[in-house]
Copies of this chain bind each other. A is one copy, B any other.
Amino acid sequence: MKKEVTIVGVSGYGGGELVRLLARHPDIKLVQALGDTHAGQPLSSAFAGLHGSEVGTLICEPKTSKVRGEIVFLAQDNGYSSGVAGTLLAEGRTVIDLAADFRLKDTEAWEKFYKLPVPEESVREKAVYGLPERHREQIRGARLMANPGCNATAAILALAPLIEAGVLENSPVIVDVKAAVSGAGRAKSDAPYRFSERNESVVPYNVGGVHRHIAEITQEAGVTPTFVPHLIPMSRGIVATCYAPLKNKSSLESLYEVWKRAYASEPFVIVRDSGDWPTTKDTLGSNYCHLSATVDPSTGLVVLISVLDNLGKGASGAAVQNMNVALGFEETAGLEGAGIWP
């Protein structure tokens, strides 16, 4: 029997991508979509691409409606999940949170970066950082998953195994991100997100030490990078270009060995040859993360290129993958296939 799923916050970009992915998932059925923007209207009114599909006829409900799904995706602003997760868990549901509320173990980091109350400890302690490539065993059977930040996923997948294996020095590490505009979310409609101003422009923001995803990288990869994001005039996609010193006795070969060992059985991490540089279009609409690396001989610095779709492996694709692992479905269910090209 198919498990029933509820999405809370269906009107945003993350919610829309969840609907698209879940519609082709063999083991679940989307039974409830909550979101005030389109309450009372069919999902196809929010996402016209759903016209003609069964899921498009599902009527959205107000955000405060009673949740019915055994599995609940929370795609709301930071701070919302803290208030509802405890109840949902007590009712026996499995919760996958796309917001940041349960990502950080370090409550000081949470307060510093998010300036929001720390979620209740009894709920926090149940949360698993939802990156299967790092925590698959914990995710199996878990009831509360904190889906990682998009930039964090790109950086952690590149850096974490290399730091862990001692291939890289852990300082100075730099993560220079080129990110599509949808990463800011659909609600961000103020000036910086207007088409005419974002188009034909690269926009640095949160330069140096202030972006919230830094705390996740510190927690999961064991390094605190200088992190600088730049908005790019495109709808989807992230390139995280990471720089770090190669450790004494390490080499590009040993780096690749570590990556290949770490990701040999991973269905969604592609380790590409040095020189075969991935582009964001390689992952457009898919759940893959592509990695490639080189060593700059003149400086001894390693350059890691990590590419993914911020709404795929960076958000909703990862959320579905977490569900699959937690519930024991085929890990790739609903996530198969290449992205859109060109």
Q: Hey, which bits of chain A sit against chain B, CB under 8 A?
A: 13, 16-17, 19-20, 23-24, 47-53, 56, 171-174, 176, 178, 180-182, 186, 188-191, 193-205, 207-209, 214, 224-226, 228, 230, 232-237, 239, 241, 243, 245, 267-268, 270, 272, 275-286, 288, 290, 292, 294-301, 303, 305, 307, 336-342
Contact = CB atoms under 8 A, between A and B. Distances in A.
Contacts of A236: 196, 200, 340, 342
A301 B174 contact: yes
B338 A47 contact: yes
A274 to B, nearest CB: 8
Given A201-B279, A284-B340, A196 B174 contact: no
27 contacts: A13-B342, A20-B337, A48-B272, A48-B290, A49-B283, A49-B284, A52-B288, A172-B172, A172-B301, A174-B174, A182-B342, A193-B195, A194-B195, A195-B199, A195-B235, A199-B234, A200-B236, A200-B237, A200-B281, A201-B281, A202-B232, A202-B237, A202-B279, A205-B277, A226-B296, A230-B239, A285-B285
Copies of this protein chain in the complex: 4
A211 to B, nearest CB: 11
A303 B194 contact: no
Contacts of A196: 13, 180-182, 186, 193, 235-236, 342
Nearest to A281: B201
A23 B337 contact: yes
A49 B208 contact: no
A226 B189 contact: no
A292 B51 CA distance: 13
